[in-house]
Amino acid sequence: MREGLASATTRVVNATSRRLGRGQGTVAGGRAGLRLDPRLLEHLSAGRQVALVSGTNGKTTTTRLLTVALGAAGDAVVSNETGSNMPPGHVAALVGTKARRVVLETDEVYLPRVLASTAAATVLLLNLSRDQLDRTNEVRMIAGSWRAALAAAPHTHVVANADDPLVAWGAGAARDVHWVGAGLRWQHDAVGCPSCEGRIAFSGGGWSCASCSFARPDPEATLVVGPGDTARAEWADGRSAPVRLALPGRFNQANALMAAVAAEASGVDALAALAVMETVQEVAGRFTVRSFGDVRARLMLAKNPAGWDELLDLVAGADAPLVVSINARIADGADPSWLWDVPYERLAGRAVVATGDRFRDLSVRLHYGGVRHTAEPDPVRAVTLAAAAITAATDGDSGAVVDVIGNYTAFHDLLGVPA
Rounded to a whole number of angstroms, the minimum distance from the CB of residue 366 to another protein is: 8
Rounded Cα–Cα distance for residues 160 and 273 (Å): 17
Find the binder of another protein among 138, 176, 218, 282 (CB under 8 A): 138
**C-beta neighbour count of 307 within 10 angstroms:** 24
| Three-state DSSP class for residue 100 | coil
Helix/strand number for the chain, H first, E second: 15, 17
Q: Which stretch binds another protein (CB under 8 A): 41-49, 79-87, 114-122, 137-145?
A: 137-145
Nearer to another protein by Cβ, of 88 and 333: the residue is 333
Considering the rule CB under 8 A, would residue 340 count as an interface residue with another protein? yes
Considering the rule CB under 8 A, would residue 319 count as an interface residue with another protein? no
Find the binder of another protein among 18, 43, 113, 140 (CB under 8 A): 140
CA distances from 119 to 95, 102, 133, 159 (A): 17, 12, 28, 15
Rounded to a whole number of angstroms, the minimum distance from the CB of residue 291 to another protein is: 31
Nearer to another protein by Cβ, of 135 and 232: the residue is 135
| Three-state DSSP class for residue 415 | helix
Greatest Cα pair distance in the chain: 69
Rounded Cα–Cα distance for residues 406 and 369 (Å): 19
Nearer to another protein by Cβ, of 316 and 334: the residue is 334
Strand ranges across the sheet with 401-406 = 289-292, 295-301, 401-406, 322-325, 352-355, 373-375
> Which helix (H) or strand (E) segment is 29 a member of?
helix 28-36
Q: Per-residue string for binding with another protein, 357-396, x by CB under 8 A?
A: ---xx-xxx-xxx---------------------------
Q: Which residues contact 172 (CB under 8 A, 6 or more apart)?
A: 147, 217
- The footprint of another protein on residues 169-228 (CB under 8 A) is 188-189, 191-192, 194, 197, 199
Nearer to another protein by Cβ, of 48 and 358: the residue is 358
Nearer to another protein by Cβ, of 133 and 320: the residue is 133
Residue ranges that bind another protein, judged by CB under 8 A: 130, 133-134, 137-140, 188-189, 191-192, 194, 197, 199, 334-335, 337-341, 360-361, 363-365, 367-369
